[in-house]
Structure 1
Amino acid sequence: MGLLVTTRGTGQGGPEARVVASGAAYDMDSGQISRARDFVRAFLSDARSLHGLDVPARAMDLAQLVVSELATNVCKYAPGPCLLDLEVDGGMLGITMWDSGSVLPAAHGADPARAGQHGLEIVLAVCQSFEVRREPVGKRVRVQISLLEGPHGEPAGFSPW
């Protein structure tokens, strides 16, 4: 897997920040979900070992969970081509998934009796941001997961929730 590494200045005379990014394309079916999770694990492992970025185990696990949930939604509601882009920029991991489906995802209200359809609720609970955009073809879902940790291993940094 090739990682794209760029360096950005802060514009204020401060230290430069490295951005590590990579992407993958899938013809999404249920067999591809594990490949997408493996891609996330390999990307974050390389970001850690090759570029010295701090990637806590919590973030590694959450990123794989989020990609699994997003990929499952693609399989259910928009099977076909799917693009997965990952980017570490500062203390945040950005996960962007594009698919060809036109229906935007929506979280259901809380219902403990409901079997299944909790994936988006899980994603919203563990991510620091969530954005969905219609594209000329399909939609793009972008989430961010904090790579920063608080004193007790919880995510640190901004969270709108």
Structure 2
Amino acid sequence: MQVSGVYQGEGADIAAARRLVEELFARLGSVGTRVAAAVAVNVKLVVSELATNAVKCTAGPFGVDLRVIAGAVEITVWDTSTQVVTAMAADPLRVGSHGMEIVKVLCGGFTTTPTVTGKRITARMPLRSAAA
């Protein structure tokens, strides 16, 4: 199962990307697949962080693709920036710039793939929480 959205790169698009997560989970529910509330919240957080990076660091459109593969949600966000994305080292005194650090912790890492028009960031999150 897959849902996708393409956005202009405006602040309101971050909330629209989060609604895409709700659409995916509604579709899963319609076929009898329940997702724990904590997992849904964490997937929304990852999408929100990746969309925020796309809006803040790119002067152009971005897209979000969410796919369910082998018991996990594959979250892919593409944008038009060639800027390398990395998770900064943990620093409790730093204000801001924690987005990729959050993605890394929640998903166990992420990959960045250069494209002809920018880059694609992909992370995976299991549909079942570790406690389930």
Mapped contact 1:129–1:145 kept (Cα < 8 A): no
Q: TM-score, normalised by structure 1?
A: 0.77
Question: Which residue of structure 2 aligns with residue 29 of structure 1?
Answer: 10
Deviation at residue 44 of structure 1 after TM alignment? 1.1
Q: Does 1:55 align with 2:35?
A: yes
- Higher percent of residues as helix: 2
Greater relative contact order (CA < 8 Å, ≥ 6 in sequence): 2
Between Structure 1 and Structure 2, the one with more strand by share is 1
Distance 2:25 2:8 in 1: 22
Change (3 A) 1:55 1:79: farther
Q: Identity of paired residues, percent?
A: 34
Partner of 1:134: 114
Say if 2:44 is the partner of 1:64: yes
Q: 1:92 to 1:128 in 2, by over 3 A?
A: farther
- Unpaired runs of 5+ residues, structure 1, are 1-19, 154-161
Instruction: Give the partner amino acid of 1:95.
Output: I
In structure 2, C-alpha distance between the alignment counterparts of 1:24 and 1:121, rounded to whole Å: 24
Q: Which residue of 1 aligns with 2:20?
A: 39
Residues 12-60 of structure 1: per-residue CA shift (max 9 Å, x gap): xxxxxxxx11111100111110111011112112212x22223111211
Q: Say if 2:103 is the partner of 1:105.
A: no
Between the aligned partners of 1:67 and 1:121, the Cα distance in structure 2 is: 13
Q: Measure how far apart 1:129 and its partner are.
A: 4.2
Whose radius of gyration is greater, 1 or 2? 1
Write the mapping of 1:81-100 to structure 2, written as runs, cut at 5 A: 81-100=61-80
Q: How many residues align?
A: 132
Tell me: CA distance 1:129–1:54, structure 2 relative to 1, closer, same or farther (3 Å): farther
| Runs of 4+ displaced beyond 4 Å | none
